[in-house]
Amino acid sequence: METTLPWRNRDEARVWFKTSGLLSIGQHRAWYQRYQEKDDDFLFVIEVNGKLVGQAAVYGIDWDAGHAEVGRFLVAPGEGGKGYISQACQALIHCCDDSLGLSYLFLEVLEKNQRAVRVYERNGFVEERRYDGLIRMSQSLDRANKSSPNNLS
């Protein structure tokens, strides 16, 4: 938490979050405590050669429908432009399909964040609609010939 909060609070990073205000360590800890009690929210850190370089998440999982939102993509200072978020997005999609058994993913991105939109498009997301300055993008995952969707073993 002490590592990723400063990443998120950077001016150049937080402007891309729907809630773009500065977060205190107390707010971050309270969020993390609520996060730990959930079974529908998974936050992953991205590590390269033993160094934390980013994060990504899948959350709001509807286990019955097989749907979830992906996001909270964040790269560490000095690590942007190296493809880590694109690779994390791809790995997260595979995790959602293969390990979590999900069939539909969506995300919301600010319309003006064209760099992120391109990353999501390269990873198979397509625009569904635009509203309130946001683009909702989604993709269906191929569940054909897969085992039970809730098999986490």
Q: Are 66 and 103 in contact (CB under 8 A)?
A: yes
Q: What is the phi/psi pair of residue 32, to 5°? A: -65, -40
Residue 124: inside a domain: yes
Q: What is the phi/psi pair of residue 119, to 5°? A: -60, -45
What is the tally of structural domains in the chain? 1
Residue 104: inside a domain: yes
Residue 34: inside a domain: yes
Structure tokens at 26: 């107390």
Q: Are 72 and 59 in contact (CB under 8 A)?
A: yes
How sure is the predictor about 147, in pLDDT bands with cuts at 50, 70 and 90? very low
Residue 100: inside a domain: yes
Residue 151: inside a domain: no
How sure is the predictor about 90, in pLDDT bands with cuts at 50, 70 and 90? very high
Residue 95: inside a domain: yes
User: Taking 80 as the threshold, does the pLDDT of residue 153 lie above it?
Assistant: no
Runs of H (alpha helix) within the chain: 4-9, 11-14, 25-36, 84-94, 114-122
Q: Long-range contacts made by residues 73-81, C-beta under 8 angstroms, separation at least 24?
A: 73/116, 74/4, 74/7, 74/8, 74/13, 75/7, 75/13, 75/46, 76/7, 76/52, 77/7, 77/10, 79/53, 79/54
- CATH number, residue 82: 3.40.630.30
User: Taking 90 as the threshold, does the pLDDT of residue 141 lie above it?
Assistant: yes
For residue 67, the Cα-to-chain-centroid distance in whole angstroms is 14
* Predicted structure pTM score: 0.81
- Express each pLDDT in 1-54 by its tens digit: 778 877 787 777 776 777 777 888 888 888 888 888 889 999 999 999 999 999
Residue 39: inside a domain: yes
| Structural domain range at position 119 | 4-140
Q: What is the phi/psi pair of residue 31, to 5°? A: -60, -45
User: Taking 70 as the threshold, does the pLDDT of residue 117 lie above it?
Assistant: yes
Residue 32: inside a domain: yes
User: Taking 60 as the threshold, does the pLDDT of residue 150 lie above it?
Assistant: no
